Structure formats: C-alpha cells, structure tokens
Chains A and B, each alone.
With several copies, the nearest count.
Chain A
Amino acid sequence: MQLESMYQEIILDHYRNPHHKGLREPYEAEVHHVNPTCGDEVTLRVHLEGVGDDAVIADVSYDAMGCSISQASASVMSDLVIGKSVKEAMVIQDEFLELMQSRGQGEPDEDVLEDAVAFAGVSKYPARVKCALLAWMAWKDATARALGEAS
C-alpha cells in the first residue's frame, strides 16, 4: 500500500493539530488563494519586521479549508518560515517547490526542509501537488506584497 508513503505520520499529525492556524494582527499583507480544481481555499497573512530580503518573518497566520495535505502543508510551512529572514525562507520555498515537481524522484535536503521532507511522497501524485503548494504560494505572494508596500 502506497498510502502510507503519501500520508506520513508527520503529515497526519500536522493535519490533526495545525500550528499557527488562525488569523492574527499585526500584518502587512493578506492574500486569498484557491485551488480551482477542488475548491480548497486559504487566507493568509504575513507580518514582517525590517525591510527587503533581510526582513524577518515575524508571523504567518492563516485560515484554511481543504484536504489533509493542504492543511498539513500550511502548518509545516509556517513552522519553517517564521523567524527566518525572507531570503532564507525563499531558499526553503525553492527547495520545496523543486521537491514537489520531482514526480517522486526528488532527494529532499532534510537540513533545509525539516518536517517538509514528509511531502516527498505527495510529489508522485500530480493532482495533489497543488494541494501541498497552496499555502506556500499564498505565503510567497503575501510576502512579495508586504515587501512591495514597505518599499
């Protein structure tokens, strides 16, 4: 059974007990993203401290509706990026994106991705890759907007 390789315990844990969930103040940017094929939605806020690439991600808060993969991914993502500089977080995002596009062939760097390595199995299922990326894309969009407003 391949199910276990997709739904690793880490993913199910984050799904059942999502971290950083709920919309909080303060924030510089809020975005709403949807997955048009299934209707999954996320509203996500970013709060930065500092300017430009060196700004620190002080908080990521979100409200999300969706499957286990999209929920767990939002939780893992916020764990990973909160406290990092935008520059560092973008590296993680790139690495995660690459893993998701690897069609099961990726060799994730656990030092960079931490819990997010658990999503390696998802990359074998093209239709679910969008679920795993939903919150990441929302975060990237919100961060770009927050930086745009700061400049």
Chain B
Amino acid sequence: MTLLPEEIKKDFPLLSRTVRGGRPLVYLDSGATSQKPVRVLDAEREFYERHNAAVHRGAHLLAEEATDAFESARSTVASFIGAAPGEIVFTKNATEAINLVAYSLSNAATAGPEAERFKVGPGDEIVVSEMEHHANLVPWQQLCRRTGATLRWFGLTDDGRLDLDDLDELVNERTRLVALTHQSNVLGTIPPIEPIAARARQVGALVLLDAAQSVPHQPVDVTALDVDFLAFSGHKMLGPSGVGVLWGRRELLEAMPPFLTGGSMIEVVRMEGSTFLPPPQRFEAGVPMTAQAVGLAAACDYLTELGMDKVHAHEEALTAYALERLGDIPGVRIIGPTTTEARGGAVSFVVDDLHPHDVGQVLDELGVAVRVGHHCAWPICRRYGIPATTRASFYVYNTLADVDALAEGVRHAQKFFGTV
C-alpha cells in the first residue's frame, strides 16, 4: 500500500480502543466523521494552555498571539487547497458554508447596488443533482422558497453517475448557480466538474462545489477547478468538530452581502445603520472557533506530510479491494460505480433480504463500525428504489484487513439471518 496504515493508526488514540466486549475497533465510518491524530489534539490544547484570547479584538500580548495563530491557521488551510488566505472564511461546518452562500443570494435583494449581481428571484433557476447531501440540497430548496426561484436537478444513471445528457438544457440562461457535490458521500462518485463548470461560465452562472468529501480525500486545487465556491468541514479531514470552510473567489466575496452579523465583521456601527469589513472578516461574526481553526491547520499539515496524492492512492486501493471482496458475496449489490474510476472511497451496498440496519447491527457486534440509512442523501435511495444502504468509508488509517473484517461481517449477517 502507498501509506502505512498500521503505523498511522498509532497516531490515533481512539483507534486502539475496543468495543462490544473487547473486540478491536474497525472504524469504517470516516465519511461521517474522521478520527483525530494526537497532533491535532495537542495543537488545540497548546492553544488553550498558552495563547487563548479573543482574536482581532485585543491589543494585549495574548490577543496578538491568538490572532497570529488564527490567521496562520487560515494561511495553512488556504495553501492546502491552493487558495489565498483572504478567500478562506471559517464557518462551523460545511453546512453553514453552503447556507452562507444561499443566504447571501437572498440577502442581495435588500443589500444595495453592489450586491445587485447576486439577486435571485422568480424565473431564475438553481441547479443541483439527485446525489446531493441534504446540506447541498435543502439550503437551495429554501432559497427558492424565499425568493421564488426554481430548483432543477441532474438525474443519475443506473450505474451511479451524473446524467449529463440534459446539461445544456438544465444549465441555461436562467441558471444563476449550480451547486454540485465534488464527491458523493453515498455512491463515491466524483462527477466531471469541467464540462459543467464550462457550461455554467457560458451562461453566466456561479458554481459551488460541496467539497466535504473531496478535500479530505483527494488533492484539491481551487486554481485548477474553474469554480466559484467550495465548502468543506474540518471534522471529516482529521480536524476538530466545530470548524468548516467556505472558499470563494475574492471578487465575489468582495461584492457579497453579509450573512451572520455582529462583532468583528463591522466597519462602522451607528444605531441607524452599519457598514461592513472586507472579506473574510465580513463573514465571520462573533468570536470564532479559534482553537478549532488551529486544530484544523494541524490536520492539514498532517495530511500534507502524508501527501494527498498518496492518501488518494491508498483509498483507491482499499476501495478496489472492497469492491472485489463485497462483489464476491452472493446477494450483495453495490450502489454506485463498481470500478475505482472517478470514484472515491465511500462504498454503499445492499444485501438481498437483509435490511441495512440489521447488517449494521451484526457488523457493530463484530466491532466493525459502518453507517446505515440514507446518509443524509435520501433522494439517492428513492432513485434506486431502496430503503437505505450500508456504507463503508475509508481513510488513511484503514487497512486491507479492515476490508476483510467488513466482508466477513456481511457474510456472518447473512448466515445469522439465514438468508443464504
């Protein structure tokens, strides 16, 4: 394997614990949230024990140190995706990052001439896909509800890919924004961004990528991707909970009206009205998740040292092996692409005559943690006519043996319920 997962595992205290009567833990739920290396935990703690203060608000030494730590975390995160620090907005999670853009569009209605270009209303269209996580679907449904715009979506092919047949019709002169997953958390699919972004450019639509599952798992460079916004979460990429990121092209952030308002994002405040700071501060109201940003930067450093190319290759190997091992089991059907081409390491499947909840329960009893259900992407289940799936998802600390444990667990479930 490209990485040495057995060595990497040692950096993650939680992974050495046992579950359900002393069984070693096999953690295959990193798509929901990843575990944290000691280095990330230490970075957070060191911040609290040495430098904690309110950032951008004080003139004393601690406030200076805290502000430095926070801003240098911003630079680290920016480099991680090839962006400039001024284009990185810290949010609490990817969900807030996407909502920020959605609310900026509706706030544009009352935000004055600068924000004119973001206005959305009846006749305008927002385009998503049927494989979106709820975080990249519901905010757009709600935006349409607030503004009278229309939501449209790409369908899916039977083998779990985006159906691009209608691209030119779906993305048209009425389209204001295309919001797409950059890697499906259920199917694993990595949709082809290029033709979609090119078409969006042609008709003057903005493009937002939900990168919650891509930034943790593949090298991402915003200068190479010709898109406008990228949203992701720290907790899925070895970082702490409570911190996420919105990347936006500088000139767009400059013109966008604020979303959350309060301290640290204002320029001048009078009772009669206020003016606002430039980005990124404009979008970071209140005392931010300082220690968490510092922890996220430590996670970026850790991943950079491993090498994101290697991370991706490692997961590809695990995915290939999982597709093979699961594919060998009679009665198991993969939901999503069955090869590793343009595909990440979320492997969803159904087992004939067995409900995913029951599969998951047997796996849990064996120490194998997977996720069961609709994975916050309910429309995928409807599309494929299934109630739910069982999903295994991989990360840097997973081994081929973990995949073996998964496959054996599925066979055990079949035996337990007598379906084979």
Contacts and interface: CB of A to CB of B under 8 A. Distances in A.
Interface of A: 1-3, 6-7, 12, 34, 36-41, 65-70, 125-128, 131
Contacts of A41: 387
A70 B355 CA distance: 10
Contacts of B372: 38
Contacts of B267: 34, 36
A2 B20 contact: yes
A67 B340 CA distance: 30
Given A12-B417, A37-B56, A39-B378, A126 B64 contact: yes
13 contacts: A7-B416, A36-B267, A36-B268, A38-B357, A38-B372, A40-B388, A66-B387, A67-B357, A68-B358, A69-B358, A126-B67, A127-B64, A128-B361
A68 B417 contact: yes
B123 interface: no
Contacts of A70: 357
Nearest to A38: B373
A66 B20 CA distance: 25
A39 B388 contact: yes
Interface of B: 20-21, 56-59, 63-64, 67-68, 266-268, 277, 355-358, 361-362, 365, 372-374, 378, 381, 387-388, 416-417
Given A3-B416, A68-B355, A38 B374 contact: yes
B-side interface mostly: mixed
A5 B381 CA distance: 30
A131 B416 CA distance: 20
Contacts of B416: 3, 7
6 tightest Cβ-Cβ pairs between the two chains A and B: A67-B357, A67-B355, A38-B373, A127-B59, A39-B374, A65-B387
A38 B268 contact: no
Given A12-B417, A36-B268, A2 B21 contact: yes
Contacts of B21: 2
A9 B301 CA distance: 45
Contacts, number: 69
Contacts of A7: 358, 416-417
A65 B374 CA distance: 13
A125 B357 contact: no
B365 A2 contact: yes
Contacts of B358: 7, 67-69
Given A12-B417, A131-B357, 4 more contacts: A7-B358, A37-B373, A126-B67, A128-B357
Contact of A127 (B63, B277, B381): B63
Contacts of B378: 39
Contacts of B63: 127
Contact of A125 (B56, B59, B381, B387): B59
B357 A6 contact: no
Contacts of A2: 20-21, 365
A36 B388 CA distance: 11
Contacts of B374: 38-39
A66 B357 contact: yes
B387 A6 contact: no
Nearest to B269: A36
B387 A39 contact: yes
Nearest to A12: B417
Contacts of A39: 373-374, 378, 381, 387-388
B59 A40 contact: no
Nearest to A3: B365
Contacts of A38: 59, 356-357, 372-374, 388
Nearest to A2: B365
A36 B365 contact: no
Nearest to B276: A36
A56 to B, nearest CB: 32
Contacts of A37: 56-57, 373
A32 B87 CA distance: 26
A15 to B, nearest CB: 9
The residue among B20, B56, B67, B373 with the most chain A CB atoms within 10 A of its own CB is B373
A126 B58 contact: no
Contacts of B59: 38, 125, 127-128
A134 B326 CA distance: 31
